Structure 1
Amino acid sequence: MAGTDTVSGKTRPETRSDLAGLEAGLDALETAAPRARSPWRETLLRKTLPPLVAAALVLAVWKLLVLAGVTDTYKLPDPSAVWASLRRLWLEGTLLGIVWTSVSRGLLGFFAALAIGTPLGLLVARVPLVRAAIGPVLSGLQSLPSVAWVPAAVIWLGITDAAMYAVILLGAVPSIANGLVAGIDQVPPLYLRAGRTMGATGVRGARFVLLPAALPGYVAGLKQGWAFSWRSLMAAELIASSPDLGLGLGQFLENARTDSDMPGVLLGILLILFVGIAVDLAVFSPLERRVLRTRGLAAAR
């Protein structure tokens, strides 16, 4: 086995060659050129074309089911009827208002949940007594369907915007806090010791050591928190609908159900789905890829 000669104290030739090879390999890793980004056409074909093809297939199957007459048209309307409903809302100038009413509520509720869930997650992760007391409660709240809070929120706060935000907070805060706790639990203890050595303790340690190191888990919690925020809001708007709240996507869907307007019902479902996917693709997926890429956990794309 290669090593140091115990008699002469000199490094054997084979050991020197192994070390040289190792150093060359490390130098190659450090000086490797960054992976070139894919051309925009390739990116378009790889990322945009597949979902468009999937959507086209869904529309084709939908159209075939309508033509085959598998059920009554008032239960499964033609895709053109849904398009006509969408076009009518656009021409009336109400489409963007309906979407923005819900999106603005969802974003405001999410940012409020972010402001509450982040310090709560830090406390739970770093204070054992708080974790023992609140940790199981957060896990239980995360598994509780958000729709279960709607009747209580309406009784407590009435059919108001406050009730909507309360349901959002109760659905999103546990997800954000638990995501941060999971991220902090995966931070190597060496990072914390190094931070304390350099004087990063307390709030400074949380800001400069804990949060950056726990960022992958934290971003995953934010992504899940937005999903819970959006789902919670739609449940609240569906159940606690009122003209005083303005017409959002949930209330639009409920109004269409009341009027037995199946094209409107399907349009409401598609708009809710579209907003959820759009926010994820525009905000959280790029943020998640960036964080993973800077950590060397995902290849550059």
Structure 2
Amino acid sequence: MVLEQQEKSGGIQRQIAGLDALELTAGKKKNPLVRVWSALWPIMTAVLISLAAWELVVLSGWREPWVLPGPREVVPVFFEVVATGTFWDAVALTMQRALVGFALAVLIGGTIGALVSQSWVLRRAFGSLITGLQTMPSIAWFPLAILLFKLSESAILFVVVLGAAPSIANGLIAGVDYTPPILLRVGQTMGLTGFARYRHLIIPASLPSFVAGLKQGWAFAWRSLMAGELLVIIGKQSIGTLLHFSREVSDTAEMIAVMVIILIIGILVDQLFGVVDRAIRSRWGLQRVGD
């Protein structure tokens, strides 16, 4: 009987040692070069597949080459565009508008989300309205924006904020709604009330959902900004005006090159949000294999 208990105890200890070894192995940091390669090869594969599919469509003769040029025509134009000082001035203006508009959307959307999530009266009154605003096409706001602010920077920022703020508010509301009740009870037991309860308990617990709302809010802000720069031409060179003028002169290769630039900026910002998301999951012990 004693031998049997010792064997069981030894088996349990071996299992625990195996789990500890597995955890230590999983926690080891990858070589930086391996991490860079593991992040780049899926993107490179997707780019190559997209270029191949694009070239096949062009070779099929579906549209004339001057209407739909292939990668061999667009890639040289792309590098010509990014090599000019005018292009970087346009990028600087567009990113300035994007960051200012997104910051205002975070401030407004976060405030609205915090208030609505904590009051059932406000939730009944404005919950559906926030969702309705989120689903409303941002381009529909431009006639009103132009009437209110004329052709100005304010008109563009107005639409960017309206496009992004509802998603950010809904992200925070959803995060608060899915805060585990046991955490709320623990906070109440520890005496957390009012702003302290919100700051030290609810906000950290709702952070993953709030970051998802920020990511979606950025996507809406970026789309709204591109639409605004195409519609509201106020004399300053931006990415949207580069796209507009290349269309006006029927320079399809340059137009597609600018579209690729817009796509690349969107992917880069998405990668930044991915870094934040992985940091949160790492802090919470929710890393996926390959992260």
TM (normalized to structure 2)? Answer: 0.88
- Is it true that 1:142 corresponds to 2:164 in the alignment? no
Counterpart of 1:266 in structure 2 is 256
The 5 Å alignment of 1:112-123 reads 112-123=104-115
2:176 and 2:48 map into 1 onto residues whose CA distance is 42
The 5 Å alignment of 1:216-255 reads 216-243=208-235, 246-255=236-245
Counterpart of 1:155 in structure 2 is 147
2:122 and 2:247 map into 1 onto residues whose CA distance is 45
2:99 and 2:44 map into 1 onto residues whose CA distance is 27
Deviation for aligned residue 1:57: 2.5
- Provide structure 1 residue ranges, at least 5 long, that are not aligned to the other structure: 1-12
Contact 1:289 1:298 in 2 (8 A): yes
Provide the secondary structure at the position in 1 that maps to 2:233: coil
1:259 and 1:166 map into 2 onto residues whose CA distance is 29
Deviates more, 1:147-156 or 1:74-83: 74-83
Deviation for aligned residue 1:86: 2.7
- Is it true that 1:212 corresponds to 2:204 in the alignment? yes
TM (normalized to structure 1)? Answer: 0.85
The 5 Å alignment of 1:74-93 reads 74-93=66-85
Question: How large is the RMSD of aligned CA atoms in angstroms?
Answer: 2.7
1:200 and 1:91 map into 2 onto residues whose CA distance is 56
Contact 2:78 2:258 in 1 (8 A): no
Deviates more, 1:285-294 or 1:228-237: 285-294
2:82 and 2:286 map into 1 onto residues whose CA distance is 43
Counterpart of 1:36 in structure 2 is 28
1:156 and 1:119 map into 2 onto residues whose CA distance is 24
- C-alpha deviations, 1:143-191, integer Å up to 9, x for none? 1111111111111111111111110110111000000111111111222
Q: 1:294 is aligned with what amino acid?
A: R
Which of 169, 184, 198 lines up with 2:176 in the alignment?
184
Identity %: 36
Counterpart of 2:88 in structure 1 is 96
- Is it true that 1:292 corresponds to 2:281 in the alignment? yes
Contact 2:246 2:254 in 1 (8 A): yes
Contact 1:142 1:174 in 2 (8 A): yes
Deviation for aligned residue 1:61: 3.1
Counterpart of 2:42 in structure 1 is 50
1:63 and 1:32 map into 2 onto residues whose CA distance is 47
